[in-house]
Amino acid sequence: MTLSFKPMTTTRFVVEVEDIDLSKPVDGASVAALRKAINEHSILVFRGQTIDNDQHIAFSRNFGDLEIHTVKQYLLPDYPEIIALANRGENGTTPIDNGGAYWHTDISYKAKPPMGSLLYSLEVPPEGGDTLFADMYAAYDALDDDMKDRIEGVRAVHGYAARFSQMGEGGKRPTLSAEQLAEVPEVTHPVVRINRETGRRALYVNEGFTQGIEGMPMVESRTLVDTLNAHATQPDFVYDHRWRVGDLVFWDNRAVMHCATAYDTSYPRRMHRTTIQGDMPIA
Ligand code: OGA
Ligand code: MN
């Protein structure tokens, strides 16, 4: 199999991978090429795919062990590796209308946040319900030297409980049990994160889960997180993915933030996500 990578932005951020059928096992050389590509481009888009749950999981495992989400109510009963982002629910899962409608990187609130996520679309509304992605390497590179100095060696506090309680979802969100809360204590991560394989530096704070800067007074800390978030989400750094049925998007959580956009929820929207385990972020 020879893969081709077609740029989807004018920068190296985001490529479409052509000539690949994800329902079939992918050979070793192609897996190596995809691993190289995710480090290089941060987002890989595969279009026109038809895969079942086993195939989605099998393809994902090429990149690492899979993460099982804390909120079991969202997981497919027979496939706990798959979180269903489905506004009608699926096999009894709790419906999600607008799961990540705030800038975030998946599960940054864990000590070892996932390396990547693979989101596959099964049903999409006629318009809206896009996913926006921000290039956190480009965002870091574009900071002025004063800001780079200010955040060097600084750590941020990430948490899930506060965000989860705000999400609401029209009362459909379950509440976290004591056991679930115990799985997600606050953690700290470097604000500037280095990719172990390439040495590139990415900004690593997000609106969703970053609660503040370690050791900084609350107001100053909130202002800094907001400033960095606003900087990173400028149009120059953002790719807007307009979903078609059969798209699978594989993104690097070490290197991008993402945010779901609004849509008319009278239309069904149904997506499946697998999540690849990751390393402890390093500065
Ligand atoms: C996710 C996510 C956004 C969307 O799958 O992690 O945030 O557009 N999805 O559904
Ligand atoms: Mn997400």
Distance 105 CA to ligand 2 centre (A): 6
C-beta of 116 in contact with ligand 1 (< 6 A): no
Q: Which residue, judged by its Cα, is nearest atom 1 of ligand 1?
A: 100
Side-chain half-sphere exposure of 218, counting CA atoms within 13 A? 0
**Please, what are the domains in the chain?**
4-276 (3.60.130.10)
Quickly tell me which residue has 């993402």 as its tokens: 258
The length of the chain is 283
Between 9 and 27, residue with greater pLDDT? 27
Residue 117 CA: nearest ligand 1 atom is 6
Quickly tell me which residue has 């800001």 as its tokens: 147
CA angle 99, 244, 248 (to 5 degrees): 70
Alpha carbon separation from 169 to 39, 100, 174 (Å, rounded): 34, 11, 10
Residue 174: CB atoms within 10 A of its CB come to 13
C-beta of 114 in contact with ligand 1 (< 6 A): no
- Residue 163: the pLDDT is 74
* Percent of residues, the chain, with pLDDT higher than 90: 85
Cα separation, 233 vs 238, whole angstroms = 6
Confidence class for position 2, pLDDT limits 50, 70, 90: confident
Confidence class for position 182, pLDDT limits 50, 70, 90: confident
The closest ligand to the CA of 273 turns out to be: 1
The closest ligand to the CA of 125 turns out to be: 1
* Three-state secondary structure call for residue 107: coil
First-last CA distance in the chain: 37
* Percent of residues, the chain, with pLDDT higher than 70: 96
φ/ψ of residue 236, rounded to 5 = -60, -25
**What is the DSSP secondary structure assignment for residue 72, as one 8-state letter?**
G
State mean pLDDT over 149-177.
Answer: 79
Distance 82 CA to ligand 2 centre (A): 13
* Three-state secondary structure call for residue 53: helix
Spell 67-95 as b/e; 16+ CB within 10 A means b: bebbbebbbbeebebbbbbbbeebeebbb
Kindly list the catalytic residues: 104, 106, 258, 273
Residue of 85, 251, 259 best suited for mutating to test ligand 1, as the one with most atoms within 8 Å of CB: 85
pLDDT tens-digit profile of 85-127? 999 999 999 999 877 899 999 999 999 999 999 999 999 999 9
Confidence class for position 144, pLDDT limits 50, 70, 90: very high
What is the pTM assigned to this prediction? Answer: 0.95
- Residue 177: the pLDDT is 85
The residue type at 65 = D
For residue 230, count CB atoms less than 10 angstroms from its CB and return exposed for 0-12, middle for 13-18, buried for 19 or more. Answer: exposed
> CB within 8 A of 230, min separation 6: which ones?
none
C-beta of 100 in contact with ligand 1 (< 6 A): yes
C-beta of 117 in contact with ligand 1 (< 6 A): yes
Residue 135 near residue 239, CB atoms below 8 Å: yes
> Quick one: CA dihedral 245, 248, 253, 257, positive or negative?
negative
Cα separation, 43 vs 248, whole angstroms = 10
Side-chain half-sphere exposure of 254, counting CA atoms within 13 A? 26
C-alpha 186: how far from chain center: 19
C-beta of 271 in contact with ligand 1 (< 6 A): yes
